[in-house]
């Protein structure tokens, strides 16, 4: 996809839907997401609440006249749910809202929650993109992360997904893991590349506060790789994936041509999306809407015909503009100055003045015709560079 195609406005009337499923088999040691283990008994009631919320929102004035180009079920682990109930939620959503003719429909999964029957049910419900949380192919590192599956489970899940007809599979992997060497990361990456998925999401492990991993790091029980080692892992990643025909289109995302994730591009372009489910955050024409985080409270609110929102924030035009620049620069194509001017009546060169001139002079940001983008040099230190533009 060309830079201009990637940055073409989706149009105010085209948007996406996110559904959050906050349940998992067990809690990974590094996880700070809104996900709960050991609460499987609540899932059926939660999905029923989601169905009610879907029907209710479909009649909301904001949704009328909108057409949706992607549906994304994330978590948590959506594939932990009863496949018939999960399929019902997907079908309900596809019927209740007006979708474009070929929407991207993604479901996140974990390897040990997939089976041929489950995958078939997802395909029949219309799911055409599967994201599998593999994280590592090293047994020792999976254990260190507290993942509930093995490397063999991951390979088997991938094979079953292909067998079920999934032609668009994304693998999630993490690097910078405790004790991980560059060679070990390269082995995981090479194993993953041999499977030949269409897409990779590759994230450096971040140690989040109040997680069991944070406690282990604080007590010196595990040691993370140094910054230089992580930089070496990143260098090997871009080299290896470029050699195998994957295009890096976002700081942490790589895909074969034609397989960029449309749903996530919508986030990085900071456009609108609808979010349903506990703790999910939506953005409707600049208004940020956060749902209550606790799944029980979410179900209760929906059952009592109350709104499930915990927070609503209307962002100012300059705040939305800055967010859009920062999010947009995560994509390698960068942000179009013309589009920013059309959307916000603000020009980044004028708005950021000397701050941007310094980044340009340092060679961290490049101005290419109409596009502002991060330079290759800036990618390993993207967060530091982007922090200048907050
Ligand atoms: S599978 Fe994902 S959401 Fe669930 S506990 Fe692990 S990291 Fe968290």
Q: What is the DSSP string of 325-389?
A: HHHHTTBTT-EEHHHHHHHHS--HHHHHHHHHHHHHHTTSEEEETTEEEE-TTTGGGHHHHHHTT
- Nearest residue by C-alpha to atom 3 in ligand 1: 76
Q: How many CB atoms lie within 10 A of CB 208?
A: 12
Q: How many CB atoms lie within 10 A of CB 353?
A: 10
Task: List, in sequence order, every residue forming a beta bridge with 109; answer none if it has no partner.
Answer: 132
Location of structure tokens 């040099």: 377
Residue 61: its pLDDT value, please? 85
* Ligand 1 proximity of 279 Cβ (cutoff 6 Å): no
What are the tokens at 8? 């073409």
334: left (phi > 0), else alpha (psi -120 to 50), else beta?
left
CATH superfamily of 8-268: Aldolase class I (3.20.20.70)
Per-position pLDDT tens, the chain of length 390:
333 333 333 446 789 999 999 999 999 999 999 999 999 999 999 999 999 999 999 988 888 888 999 999 999 999 999 999 999 999 999 999 999 999 999 999 999 999 999 999 999 999 999 999 999 999 999 999 999 999 999 999 999 999 999 999 999 999 999 999 999 999 999 999 999 999 999 999 999 999 999 999 999 999 999 999 999 999 999 999 999 999 999 999 999 999 999 999 999 999 999 999 999 999 988 899 999 999 999 999 999 999 999 999 999 999 999 999 999 999 999 999 999 999 999 999 999 999 999 999 999 999 998 999 999 999 999 999 999 999
- What is the layout of strands, in order, in the sheet containing 371-374? 335-336, 371-374, 365-368
Q: Where are the domains of the chain?
A: 8-268, 317-387
Domain 317-387 has CATH 1.10.10.920: yes
Of residues 148, 160, 154, 151, the one with CA closest to residue 122: 160
- Nearest residue by C-alpha to atom 6 in ligand 1: 28
* Ligand 1 proximity of 75 Cβ (cutoff 6 Å): yes
Using alpha carbons, list the distances in angstroms from residue 367 to 355, 358, 359, 383. Answer: 14, 13, 10, 19
Whether the full predicted model's pTM is greater than 0.85, yes or no, is yes
* Ligand 1 proximity of 16 Cβ (cutoff 6 Å): no
3-class secondary-structure state, position 138: coil
What are the tokens at 19? 């559904």
369: exposed, middle or buried (Cβ count in 10 Å: 0-12, 13-18, 19+): exposed
* Ligand 1 proximity of 79 Cβ (cutoff 6 Å): no
Residue 4: its pLDDT value, please? 36
Half-sphere exposure of residue 61: CA atoms within 13 angstroms, side-chain side: 0
Q: How many CB atoms lie within 10 A of CB 65?
A: 9
């Amino acid at each position: 996809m060309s830079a201009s195609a990637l940055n073409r406005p989706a149009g105010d009337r085209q948007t996406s839907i996110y559904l959050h499923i906050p349940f998992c088999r067990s809690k990974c040691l590094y996880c700070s997401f809104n996900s709960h283990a050991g609460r499987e008994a609540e899932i059926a009631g939660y999905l029923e609440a989601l169905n009610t919320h879907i029907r209710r929102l479909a009649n909301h004035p904001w949704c009328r006249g909108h057409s949706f180009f992607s549906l994304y079920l994330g978590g948590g682990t959506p594939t932990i749910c009863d496949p018939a109930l999960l399929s019902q939620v997907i079908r309900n959503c596809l019927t209740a809202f007006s979708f474009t003719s070929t929407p991207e429909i993604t479901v996140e999964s974990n390897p040990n929650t997939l089976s041929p029957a489950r995958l078939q049910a997802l395909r029949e419900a219309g799911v055409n993109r599967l994201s599998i949380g593999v994280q590592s192919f090293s047994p020792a590192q999976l254990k260190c992360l507290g993942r509930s599956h093995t490397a063999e489970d991951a390979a088997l899940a991938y094979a079953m997904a292909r067998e079920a007809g999934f032609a668009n599979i994304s693998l999630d992997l993490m690097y910078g893991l405790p004790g991980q060497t560059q060679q070990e990361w390269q082995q995981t990456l090479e194993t993953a590349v041999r499977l030949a998925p269409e897409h990779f999401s590759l994230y450096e492990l971040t140690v989040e506060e109040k997680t069991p991993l944070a406690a282990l790091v604080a007590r010196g029980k595990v040691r993370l790789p140094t910054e230089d080692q992580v930089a070496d892992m990143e260098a090997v990643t871009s080299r290896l994936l470029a050699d195998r025909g994957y295009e890096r289109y976002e700081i942490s995302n790589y895909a074969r041509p034609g397989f960029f994730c449309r749903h996530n591009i919508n986030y990085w372009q900071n456009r609108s999306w609808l979010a349903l489910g506990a703790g999910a955050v939506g953005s409707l024409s600049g208004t940020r809407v956060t749902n209550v985080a606790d799944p029980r409270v979410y179900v209760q609110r929906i059952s009592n015909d109350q709104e499930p929102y915990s927070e609503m924030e209307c962002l100012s035009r300059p705040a939305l503009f800055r967010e859009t620049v920062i999010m947009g620069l995560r994509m390698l194509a960068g942000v179009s100055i013309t589009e920013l001017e059309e959307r916000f009546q603000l020009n980044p060169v004028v708005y950021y003045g000397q701050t941007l001139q310094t980044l340009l002079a340092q060679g961290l940001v490049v101005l290419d015709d109409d596009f502002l983008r991060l330079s290759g040099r800036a990618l390993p230190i993207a967060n530091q560079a982007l922090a200048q533009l907050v």
